[in-house]
Amino acid sequence: QQQVKQSPQSLIVQKGGIPIINCAYENTAFDYFPWYQQFPGKGPALLIAIRPDVSEKKEGRFTISFNKSAKQFSLHIMDSQPGDSATYFCAASRGATNKLIFGTGTLLAVQP
Amino acid sequence: DTAVSQTPKYLVTQMGNDKSIKCEQNLGHDTMYWYKQDSKKFLKIMFSYNNKELIINETVPNRFSPKSPDKAHLNLHINSLELGDSAVYFCASSPTGQGRTQYFGPGTRLLVL
């Protein structure tokens, strides 16, 4: 059973476009929702994270929108660049163990 | 450089062999993790140690045994390797506590022939 569902599986946008990646979760005990960015051959790196007490968080060109009632959250990348081409993972965790449950990943390609 | 490092970067071995992957972090974190990323890029936690104590042990075959000699090191030993063990294994670390950023190593690409 996939606790964190992510879509789409892949996404192609033109430079300057705004790709949106969506995630949904079931467990209402989750209290931390990070997004990770992974380039080929590298480990995942934290991009931005949100807690359920806020509905939106923005860091640079990256924005998380969070809908607690719908148990959904999404990543928006403003003014996307070819250098943003990577695999993006949403995740969720709860409690002190900090155990991250990852979504299935979205392969983003930003075309010049 | 402050980071999470793993050795080796690549590991090619025969079925039935025993192998180890080493992880070290110099970030001063108390908690370390092992993740497995399969061929479809799905990332799944395997183990987590906090100050050398095992705190997360997912449903992983007994052939996988983590060992933490100190809080800066978390090694993964795999016995009797199988074809299905082929994957990328990532080590990560974080400060103790919920919602703390996990920093991932560069990964070890294991191929079992």
- Alpha-carbon distance of A49 to A32, in angstroms, equals 7
Task: Return the beta strands (E) in chain A as ranges.
Answer: 4-7, 10-14, 20-25, 33-38, 45-50, 56-59, 62-67, 72-77, 86-92, 101-102, 106-111
Q: Which residues of A touch B94 (CB under 8 A)?
A: 98
Mean pLDDT of B88-107: 90
Which of A3, A87, A98 should we substitute to test contact with B (largest number of B Cβ atoms within 10 Å)?
A98
Total structural domains in chain B? 1
Task: Say how far apart CA A72 and CA A93 lie, in whole Å.
Answer: 14
What are all long-range contacts of B63-67, with beta carbons under 8 Å and residues at least 24 apart? B66/B34
Query: Which whole-number Å values give the CA distances from B60 to A14, B8, B65, B81, in the listed order?
Result: 41, 21, 9, 13
- List the structure tokens of B36: 């497995």
Asked, for residue A72, whether it belongs to a domain, the answer is yes
How far is A40 from chain B, CA to nearest CA, in Å? 10
Tokens read off for A55: 């509905």
pLDDT tens digits along A77-106: 999 999 999 999 999 998 777 889 999 999
CATH of the domain at B70: 2.60.40.10
Considering the domain boundaries, does residue A80 fall inside one? yes
CATH number at residue A11: 2.60.40.10
pLDDT at B1 over 70: no
d(CA B63, CA B16): 11
Split into its structural domains, chain A has a count of: 1
Instruction: Determine the structural domain holding residue B106 and report its residue range.
Output: 4-112
Kindly state whether residue A66 falls inside one of the protein's structural domains.
yes
Local structure of B39: helix, strand or coil = coil
* B100, pLDDT greater than 90: no
pLDDT per position as a tens digit, B29-85: 999 999 999 999 999 999 999 888 888 888 789 999 999 999 999 999 999 999 999
Q: Helix (H, G, I), strand (E, B), or coil: what is residue B112?
A: strand
Is A85 inside any structural domain?
A: yes
B109 Cα distance to chain centroid:
11
Tell me which residue range forms the domain holding A19. Answer: 1-32+61-95
Q: pLDDT by residue (tens digit) across A63-80?
A: 999 999 999 999 999 999
